[in-house]
Amino acid sequence: SQTIHQWPATLVQPVGSPLSLECTVEGTSNPNLYWYRQAAGRGLQLLFYSVGIGQISSEVPQNLSASRPQDRQFILSSKKLLLSDSGFYLCAWEGGGLVNTGELFFGEGSRLTVL
Amino acid sequence: AQSVAQPEDQVNVAEGNPLTVKCTYSVSGNPYLFWYVQYPNRGLQFLLKYITGDNLVKGSYGFEAEFNKSQTSFHLKKPSALVSDSALYFCAVRDPGDKLIFGTGTRLQVFP
């Protein structure tokens, strides 16, 4: 069966420090991968998605970047965090190409607090 | 362009009573429709989806949803609510081949 892992689960960082959140998927190949941010426990904002290694699409101009160095690894980064980067970050995957069944499967999230 | 609306920020229901969480959508073609649930400080969990076929879709934890094409709605329902159903519920829609679009979420509070 497929599983998705995100870490760290919780992170407290000072303003101006770097960020790296990691997401890996197991049990599938060539997944489409997504990073979302959820502010104040409500709506989801799509940040990045990727359909393959090295292929990143950015949905919203941010102080953030994403990379996909391996097929099942998706990394969210920042060189210098802002207070507004605080939030709950969710990674998600779906089957790529013909194995896509329409729904996304989410990780457990990473809560980032920038002080 | 596709969009989805959840008109209620919060729904309150007594335990044992039926519950409904509303969702309406707008897409250019035949929609794929989804419901997710989120418990505090957790990721979203997939509940059910409608792709094609029977308009009444059954999902996890006793939830079901009815696809109504004429009203462009996909309301989530459960015949008898549990306190443990209290959570944040998201409706989502996608045109085939396009990205998933989420609603703003509805907080369900079930009172004992």
Question: What tokens were used for A59?
Answer: 């949905």
Residues of B in contact with A104 (CB under 8 A): 44, 46, 100
Residues of B in contact with A41 (CB under 8 A): 40, 88
The yes-or-no verdict on residue A98 having pLDDT over 70 is no
Q: Nearest residue on chain A to B9, judged by CA atoms?
A: A42
Q: How far apart are CA B17 and CA B99, in angstroms?
A: 35
Q: Which residue has the tokens 């015949």?
A: B79
Are B94 and A42 inside 8 Å of each other by CB?
no
CB B60 within 8 A of CB B68: no
Strand extents, DSSP E, chain B:
3-5, 10-14, 19-21, 24-26, 32-38, 44-50, 56-58, 64-68, 73-78, 87-94, 101-102, 106-111
Q: What is the pLDDT of residue A41?
A: 64
Q: Which residue has the tokens 């329409």?
A: A102
Q: In a 3-state reduction of DSSP, which class is residue B8?
A: coil
Q: How far apart are CA B68 and CA B89, in angstroms?
A: 19
CB A110 within 8 A of CB A87: no
Q: How far apart are CA B36 and CA B55, in angstroms?
A: 18
Q: Tell me: the pLDDT tens digits for B56-80? A: 999 999 999 999 999 999 999 999 9
Q: How far apart are CA A40 and CA A26, in angstroms?
A: 30
Q: Nearest residue on chain B to A46, judged by CA atoms?
A: B101
The kind and range of the H/E element at A12 are strand A10-13
Q: What is the pLDDT of residue A42?
A: 79
Residues 6+ apart with CB under 8 A from A114: A12, A13, A14, A15, A81, A82, A83, A84, A85, A86
Interface of A with B (CB under 8 A): 6, 41-44, 46, 49, 88, 90, 92, 102-109, 111
CA distance B65 to chain A (A): 16
The one-character DSSP state at B90 is E
Are A107 and B43 inside 8 Å of each other by CB?
yes
Residue A102: which pLDDT band, with cuts at 50, 70 and 90?
confident
Residues of A in contact with B100 (CB under 8 A): 103-104
Q: How many residue contacts between A and B have a Cβ separation below 8 Å?
A: 44
Q: Tell me: the pLDDT tens digits for A32-91? A: 999 999 987 678 999 999 999 999 999 886 789 999 999 999 999 999 999 999 999 999
Q: Which residue has the higher pLDDT, A112 or A62?
A: A112
